[in-house]
Copies of this chain bind each other. A is one copy, B any other.
Amino acid sequence: MSGSSDKARATSNPGAGRYFEDFKLGEVLHHPVPRTLTAGDVALYTALYGTRFAVQSSDPFARAIGLKAAPVDDLLVFHIVFGKTVGDVSLNAVANLGYAECRFLRPVYVGETLTARSEVIGIKETSSGKTGIVYVRSEGLDQDGAPVLTFARWVMVNKRDSSAPAPEPVVPTLAERVAPEAFADAWPTIDCAAYDTALAGSPLRWEDYEPGMRIDHMDGMTIAEAEHQMATRLYQNTARVHFDAHRQRAGRFGRRLVYGGHVISLARALTFNGLANAFHVAAINGGRHVAPCFAGDTIYAWSEVLERQPLIGRDDVGALRLRTVAAKDRPCADFPLRQAREADDKDAGGVVLELDYWVLLPR
């Protein structure tokens, strides 16, 4: 833990992050720093995204359906946990390639404290020999060390030394879809008769949606530099591309890059228009940041219902599998999709995000 080489690295090159050669299959990384969630974090989350889901917005609403208080927004939990992994996993990443098998394991409340750990579940050098792909499974843990969130992600990481030998490649098998059985009992039973749909903003319950339905979420949100910086710092995410305009001027985009999770939260908040009762993100099957976002971009979103599934053993809530697509500087009334990759369309038709995930709604 505190060997002299660790200490030497901590002194000579603090916060330098890990390179591809530093990742060993099966290794478990315990990420600093623990973080107690507060009402301040929740207020900032509201101010940054304008989220309006009633269960997270109101203690009495949450208590009426059987929760002990308004839970913290699922994606705020995700961002805090994700932020902790950055310093050890992706500080030297060239690209965040994907997410999979993300499950929210229980409601999280103000006053709880989160830590994070990641296991290296795959490594594979790329053909260039200059980078490698690292697969990790990360967990968010509560104050008692019990997991509240799990997800896999894979990133392309620079090698420190391109002449270093390639490790034996191991690529994990990751599900394209989280099965509803895997999250059916993660969320406590709610009193769905006490769920006041009018107060929550929409008459639509789970059974009112059908696979194939497409919903334009209508509104657009323009990102300011201060907003995405404050968000990412709130999450104690240290990825330098988000904060350092001076160095980024010489970088790939010539400017600060918006944290992909910021765009996910904007898109999720926009889905309130049409999905106001989708009160809980239960799982994320996969997500792709199709194009980068920058301050000044205006984010729009639309969603398609991919599946409607009951949950075994419960009749209070059901699950919808959604694909939410976010686009920039382009309203989504015509439901744009990412262009086929073969076409090598650099701007992806304005699409910046495709997120495939499960939400719960009252029945």
Distance, CA A199 to CA B117, complexed state (A): 11
Is A243 an interface residue, CB under 8 A from the partner?
Answer: yes
Nearest chain B CB to A222's CB is how many angstroms away?
A: 4
CB-nearest residue of chain B relative to A272? B15
Distance, CA A53 to CA B32, complexed state (A): 10
Query: Are A46 and B246 also in contact (CB < 8 A) when A14-B274, A224-B226 are?
Result: no
Is A47 an interface residue, CB under 8 A from the partner?
Answer: yes
- As a 0/1 sequence over residues 83 to 99 of chain A, the CB contacts with chain B under 8 angstroms (1 = contact) are 00001000000000000
Nearest chain B CB to A148's CB is how many angstroms away?
A: 15
Distance, CA A13 to CA B222, complexed state (A): 21
Is A199 touching B54 in the complex (CB atoms < 8 A)? no
Distance, CA A361 to CA B200, complexed state (A): 39
CB-nearest residue of chain B relative to A69? B36
Is A240 an interface residue, CB under 8 A from the partner?
Answer: yes
Is B41 touching A43 in the complex (CB atoms < 8 A)? yes
Query: Are A59 and B36 also in contact (CB < 8 A) when A50-B233, A220-B244, A247-B331 are?
Result: yes
> What is the count of identical protomers in the complex?
3
- As a 0/1 sequence over residues 189 to 211 of chain A, the CB contacts with chain B under 8 angstroms (1 = contact) are 00000000111111111001000
Is A307 an interface residue, CB under 8 A from the partner?
Answer: no
CB-nearest residue of chain B relative to A202? B10
Is B57 touching A34 in the complex (CB atoms < 8 A)? yes
Chain B residues with Cβ below 8 Å from A57 are 33-36, 236
Distance, CA A325 to CA B182, complexed state (A): 51
Query: Are A58 and B233 also in contact (CB < 8 A) when A14-B274, A43-B44, A298-B244 are?
Result: no
Interface centre among A1, A33, A58, A229 (most CB of B within 10 A): A33
- As a 0/1 sequence over residues 48 to 82 of chain A, the CB contacts with chain B under 8 angstroms (1 = contact) are 11101110011111000000001000000000000
Query: Are A44 and B36 also in contact (CB < 8 A) when A7-B203, A14-B217, A227-B230 are?
Result: no
Interface residues in A, total, Cβ within 8 A: 91
Is A165 an interface residue, CB under 8 A from the partner?
Answer: no
Nearest chain B CB to A275's CB is how many angstroms away?
A: 8
Is A174 an interface residue, CB under 8 A from the partner?
Answer: no
Chain B residues with Cβ below 8 Å from A247 are 220, 298, 331
Nearest chain B CB to A45's CB is how many angstroms away?
A: 9
Distance, CA A230 to CA B39, complexed state (A): 16
Chain B residues with Cβ below 8 Å from A113 are 58-61
Distance, CA A273 to CA B216, complexed state (A): 44
**What are 21 A-B contacts defined by CB distance under 8 Å?**
A1-B198, A2-B197, A2-B198, A11-B208, A13-B218, A15-B217, A15-B219, A15-B273, A30-B198, A32-B52, A34-B60, A36-B57, A40-B42, A52-B238, A57-B236, A60-B113, A220-B243, A220-B247, A224-B226, A226-B226, A227-B230
5 tightest A-B contacts by CB?
A: A40-B43, A15-B273, A32-B201, A50-B233, A14-B274
Task: Known A-B contacts: A32-B276, A227-B229. Give 12 more (CB < 8 A).
Answer: A2-B197, A10-B274, A11-B215, A14-B215, A39-B39, A39-B43, A41-B43, A44-B44, A48-B233, A52-B236, A61-B113, A226-B227
